[in-house]
Amino acid sequence: MSIALITGITGQDGYYLSKLLLEKGYQVHGTVRRSSTFNTSRIENLIAEYSPSGQLSLHYSDLLDSTSLNTLVSTIKPDEIYNLAAQSHVAVSFENPVFTTQTGTLGSIALLESIRTSDKEIKFYQASSSEMYGGASEISLNEDSLLDPKSPYAASKVFAHNITKIYRESYDLFCVNGILFNHESPQRGETFVTRKISRAVARISVGIQNKLTLGNLDASRDWGFAGDYVKGMWMMLQHHTPDDWVLATGETYTVKEFLEEAFSVVNLDWDKYVESSEKYYRPNEVNYLLGDSSKAQNELGWKPETSFKNLVKMMVESDMELAVKENVLINEGLLKPTWNNSK
């Protein structure tokens, strides 16, 4: 049985990756910060199914504590490490740049050092990001495109990306960078724009929200499904040679187009419910991101399987179930709406 260690297992990608690996028969270990003890809701079903047998184990650890990471790696002896943990919200990285930079950089070095000093056969996946490119021009971006970060989050990702390459080349380690363009799902955090939209659409549809206020509606992104992208992560570590790969759909849509598609699922006109405010603009906007995943498709056999239309529909329908439950609780006096523009 192969053993995998996943940092950031309680996040969106951690959920889909751990589910994939568990279904493949892996023994999965995940790190959880002590402050995340009440944030395991995404993986509760996996815990219930796989923890009793010992196939899934969670460990308290912190990316800023290299000693705890070294001890964990030495104890569980993983075959593969997936470093997904980070403060991953771009807007928040401007508000808390120190913490964002620390988690995004020190964790990767600590894990790479642990591999270098304990077991060089361990394979390592680093979660890089399309935000590293900066989106200054409307071109399709690949593994050789210029990195031009526009946020503390993106800058920290560039560092982790480069240090991973340095360790691969300097110490002959099996280290890869997965440069993932935006990937969404019903498990996406509710502070991300796509989930803000799907949650609001569902609540507006059942009558418990009036409107939705967003920032730049013209920002354009290459949006895929997270469940497809974690397959690519796994494929990278099964490849015979370590390298860097872009995962993307090769299509880009604006926030406005996402809104149109989402509201169409419930037969509503988005323009009647959505407004834009500069309050929600980033200090340094990234206007356009489009990825070229031809290398991953040719070398790994990976390809995106979920269309943009189906992704949006999946997210709205999932949040409709939540909104219906919320409506019942509100009507029974058991829930007081806390979201903005609630009725």
Enzyme catalytic residues: 129, 131, 153
CB-CB contact of 286 with 134 (8 Å): yes
Rounded Cα gap, residues 143 and 156, in angstroms: 18
> What's phi and psi for 148, nearest 5 deg?
-145, 75
Nearest CA to 261 out of 279, 243, 274, 246 is that of 274
Beta bridge partners of 124: 81, 175
The helix/strand count (H/E) of the chain reads as 11, 13
State how far the Cα of 150 lies from the Cα of 253, in Å rounded to an integer. Answer: 20
* Polymer length of the chain: 343
Cα 333-339-343 angle, rounded to 5 deg: 60
Going across the sheet that includes 123-129, the strands are: 56-60, 27-32, 3-7, 80-83, 123-129, 175-180, 244-247
Q: How far apart are CA 194 and CA 225, in angstroms?
A: 12
Residue 219 neighbours by CB under 8 Å, 6+ apart? 254, 255, 285, 286, 287, 288
CB atoms within 10 A of CB 275: 11
**What is each CA distance from 196 to 45, 52, 200, in whole angstroms?**
24, 35, 6
CA distance from start to end of the chain: 52
